[in-house]
């Protein structure tokens, strides 16, 4: 059996550096000598791909090397469940995490690698007033606990990144780099990230994302007009912000982005023909045009109904006056055969005819959908930032959060992406919880069941603020309460809509009424307005902590406590979530509990992980766990290889019993691993 020590793979988050080294070994095994890289040999193998440092193009700043190293460090922390702050714990698949997002992103690497469809973040804009993520690369977890008053502080406080700081931009880049690099790992191959930013750092952010996500994976810089004017400017009013969009891999995004079905002026589509049932109404437009990229191949005669030839601009003969047809000969032939061309008599044309092409709306009458669409544009002008205040006023009487994005804006961004049921949206600068609010609202409108993960630093609110006076001591308290209230409001609105529809429906309901009632009932039934709360903390297991006390008495106390493994004040449930997270299972995994021969045993994610912290245990317990694992293997849809974690002292000093138990679990019951703590 393997004992889980501080160096074991299950003692920390994913070891990205070790995995990258292993990948390098697989590609270039010859560059490794005694476990180290022969860089000169690697350079030789890469040949002309190596560029001298002084000729490289890229973004460099003070601290970049440390930021890169930080993105590859493991976290020895954990996420502890907080059921009291949660909502609908047993059923919900949404997550709210309180903690420094750098450490949280590290902890999510195993479980959520390649599982996130969309990331939206609204990070600090680096205005000189909003910077609170002061990373300490020596021990970022300890730094976080100090800043949030969870352990004794040595004067480390939350701080702003003032413009007087000589490393003003560098500090911001050092904060963003490791977080973005870690977030990329979490995206699905067809996943996307959208980042709100203003003019202070938009240029640096674009270069940073080019490096992390790749220039070829840049999609767009969305320009959002957030207000109509600004009277406080002494030069030119800035009324826009940017939303930078990148994808994980450009080769996988054929169907990632949705189309805009609302971009057409429906009043133009007034004409009908014999194809109306299939193509819908249409309007006509001139087939010819002038002055744009003239080509002889697009200057030809089209036969009109009376046999007359009509050339571009209504001419009766070939002439280079700059006018051409919009379509080629072959396309015109196809259009004529399929009734996409329309001729109209004209006294203004030499040929006597005007030639038009038909623009059909393409209505799918059977499914009542407009199937004609266009790409979304990179300009958003229909949503103003002022609406964010009304979003909050609907939920809170007092102004508990000063800066937040409008719900309609985040909903629009989510709608830019094609989602399937149960795909996940991550926001690791969650703030007041606008993204969670938007996801729930949109799910109630289009029947999809998107999931969300929110991550927010429990930043302390200003004692002079309305939030503090109203009892909200941290930003996370505001965020959680907003999600609770928004969820209740959305649910109540859908329930009221259903009740009103039933009251208005006739005694004998029409098919249309039945369908609408059924649709609302299904939305209400599956609407997930809950969230599981987790809090970032140090490991639950004493033996995994790397720092020992300085005094002899402290060391003796630590050694005595380590016999029990669990820290004081920690529970078995805390340990369960630490183990499942570091085993690579989702935080929303199903947990089932059974009593087997007096021992409490947990099965996580339908038998992927079994945990028993009883000591001592008997062979009867081992057999019971084995049979449960065998059941799980038989019921699994995919190939299941269960892992079991036990206490090391569960076997006492009976090494023969320990060896026999492991052999039976693996050979007789199909377990892949048996680990001990």
Question: What is the β-pairing status of strands 77-81 and 36-37?
Answer: unpaired
List CB contacts of 154: < 8 A, sequence separation 6 or more. Answer: 146
The string of pLDDT tens digits covering residues 100-134 is: 999 999 999 999 999 999 999 999 988 776 665 66
**pLDDT of 440 strictly over 90:** yes
Closest listed residue to residue 321, CA positions, set 329, 333, 312, 330: 312
Pick from 42-56, 391-405, 467-481, 561-575: least confident: 42-56
**pLDDT of 555 strictly over 60:** no
DSSP E strand stretches across 162-286: 187-197, 218-225, 240-247, 282-286
What tokens does 591 get? 């947990």
**pLDDT of 141 strictly over 90:** no
**Where is pLDDT greater, at 287 or 554?**
287
Q: Quickly list H helices, 394-510.
A: 407-415, 434-446, 466-469, 475-504
Give, in degrees to the nearest 5, the angle at Cα 64 between 59 and 65.
Answer: 125
According to the model, what pLDDT value does residue 362 have? 73
pLDDT level of residue 353 (50, 70, 90 thresholds):
very high
pLDDT level of residue 31 (50, 70, 90 thresholds):
confident
The string of pLDDT tens digits covering residues 361-418 is: 875 444 455 566 778 999 999 999 888 888 888 898 878 887 789 999 999 999 999 9
Residue 408, classed as helix, strand or coil, is helix
| pTM exceeds 0.85 for this model | no
According to the model, what pLDDT value does residue 132 have? 58
Dist. CA 622–CA 574, nearest whole Å: 23
Dist. CA 577–CA 41, nearest whole Å: 44
Dist. CA 41–CA 239, nearest whole Å: 54
The string of pLDDT tens digits covering residues 216-234 is: 999 999 999 999 887 677 7
Pick from 6-15, 32-41, 144-153: least confident: 144-153
Phi and psi at residue 367, to the nearest 5°:
-100, 5
The string of pLDDT tens digits covering residues 506-551 is: 777 788 888 888 889 999 999 999 999 999 999 988 765 555 556 6
Dist. CA 92–CA 307, nearest whole Å: 70
DSSP conformation class of 94? -
What tokens does 253 get? 């995004």
According to the model, what pLDDT value does residue 369 have? 55
Residue 556, classed as helix, strand or coil, is helix
Exposed (0-12), middle (13-18) or buried (19+): which is 410, by Cβ within 10 Å? Answer: buried
Dist. CA 193–CA 184, nearest whole Å: 8
The string of pLDDT tens digits covering residues 455-495 is: 999 988 888 888 888 899 999 999 999 999 999 999 999 99
Compute the 3-state secondary structure of the chain and give helix, strand, coil in percent, each to the nearest 5: 40, 20, 40
Dist. CA 147–CA 660, nearest whole Å: 49
Domains of the chain: 58-263+373-496+529-539 (3.40.50.150), 266-370 (no CATH), 550-676 (no CATH)
Q: Is the peptide bond before 616 cis (omega within 30 degrees of 0)?
A: yes
According to the model, what pLDDT value does residue 147 have? 66
Dist. CA 198–CA 648, nearest whole Å: 54
């Amino acid at each position: 059996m393997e004992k889980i020590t501080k160096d074991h793979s299950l003692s920390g988050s994913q070891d990205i550096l070790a995995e990258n080294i292993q990948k390098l070994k697989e590609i270039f095994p010859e560059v490794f000598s005694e476990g180290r890289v022969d860089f000169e040999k690697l350079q030789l193998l890469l040949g002309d791909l190596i560029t001298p440092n002084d000729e490289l193009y890229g973004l460099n700043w003070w601290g970049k090397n440390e930021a890169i190293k930080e993105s590859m460090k493991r976290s020895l922390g954990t996420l502890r469940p907080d059921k009291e702050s949660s909502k609908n714990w047993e059923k919900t698949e949404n997550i709210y995490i309180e903690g420094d997002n750098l450490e949280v992103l590290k902890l999510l690497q195993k479980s959520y690698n390649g599982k996130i469809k969309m990331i939206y973040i609204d990070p600090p804009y680096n205005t000189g007033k909003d910077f609170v993520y002061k990373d300490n690369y020596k021990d970022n977890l300890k730094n976080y606990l100090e800043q949030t008053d969870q352990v004794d502080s040595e004067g480390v406080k939350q701080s702003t990144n003032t413009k007087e700081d000589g490393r003003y931009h560098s500090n911001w880049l050092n904060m963003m780099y490791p977080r973005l690099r870690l977030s990329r790992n979490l995206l699905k191959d067809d996943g996307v990230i959208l980042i709100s930013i203003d003019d202070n750092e938009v240029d640096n952010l674009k270069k940073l994302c080019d490096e992390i996500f790749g220039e070829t994976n840049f999609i767009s810089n969305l320009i959002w007009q957030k207000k109509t004017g600004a009277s406080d400017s002494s030069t030119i009013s800035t009324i826009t912000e940017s939303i930078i969009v990148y994808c994980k891999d450009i080769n996988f995004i054929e169907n990632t982005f949705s189309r805009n079905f609302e971009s057409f002026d429906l009043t133009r589509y007034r004409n009908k023909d014999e194809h109306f049932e299939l193509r819908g109404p249409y309007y006509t437009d001139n087939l010819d045009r002038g002055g744009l990229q003239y080509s002889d191949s697009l200057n030809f005669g089209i036969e009109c109904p009376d046999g007359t030839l009509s050339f571009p601009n209504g001419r009766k003969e070939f002439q280079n006056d700059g006018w051409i047809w919009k379509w080629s000969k072959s396309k015109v032939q196809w259009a004529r055969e399929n009734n996409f061309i329309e001729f109209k008599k004209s006294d203004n044309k030499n040929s006597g005819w005007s030639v038009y092409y038909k623009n059909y709306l393409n209505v799918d009458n059977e499914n009542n959908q407009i199937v004609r669409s266009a790409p979304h544009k990179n300009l958003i002008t229909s949503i103003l930032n002022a609406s964010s205040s009304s979003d909050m006023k609907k939920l809170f009487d007092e102004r508990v959060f000063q800066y937040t994005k409008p719900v309609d804006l985040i909903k629009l961004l989510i709608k830019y992406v094609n989602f399937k049921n149960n795909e996940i949206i991550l926001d690791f600068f969650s703030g007041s919880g606008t993204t969670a609010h938007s996801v729930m609202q949109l799910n109630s409108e289009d029947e999809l069941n998107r999931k969300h993960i929110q991550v927010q630093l429990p930043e302390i609110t200003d004692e002079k603020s309305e939030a503090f006076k109203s009892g909200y001591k941290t930003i996370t308290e505001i965020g959680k309460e907003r999600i609770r209230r928004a969820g209740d409001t959305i649910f109540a609105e859908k329930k009221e809509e259903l009740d009103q529809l039933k009251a208005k429906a006739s005694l004998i309901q029409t098919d249309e009424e039945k369908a609408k009632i059924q649709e609302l009932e299904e939305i209400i039934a599956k609407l997930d307005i809950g969230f599981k709360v987790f809090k970032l903390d140090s490991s639950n297991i004493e033996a995994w902590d790397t720092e020992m006390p300085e005094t002899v008495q402290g060391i003796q106390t630590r050694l005595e406590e380590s016999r029990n493994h669990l820290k004081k004040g920690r529970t078995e449930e805390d340990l369960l979530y630490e183990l499942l997270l570091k085993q690579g299972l989702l935080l929303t995994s199903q947990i089932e509990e059974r009593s087997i021969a007096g021992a409490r045993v947990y099965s996580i994610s339908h038998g992927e992980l079994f945990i028993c912290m009883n000591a001592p245990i008997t062979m009867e317990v081992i057999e019971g766990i084995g049979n449960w694992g065998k059941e799980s293997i038989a019921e699994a849809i995919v190939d299941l290889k269960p892992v079991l974690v036990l206490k090391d002292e569960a076997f006492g000093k009976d090494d023969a019993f320990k060896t026999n138990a492991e052999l039976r679990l693996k050979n007789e019951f199909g377990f892949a691993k048996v680990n001990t703590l």
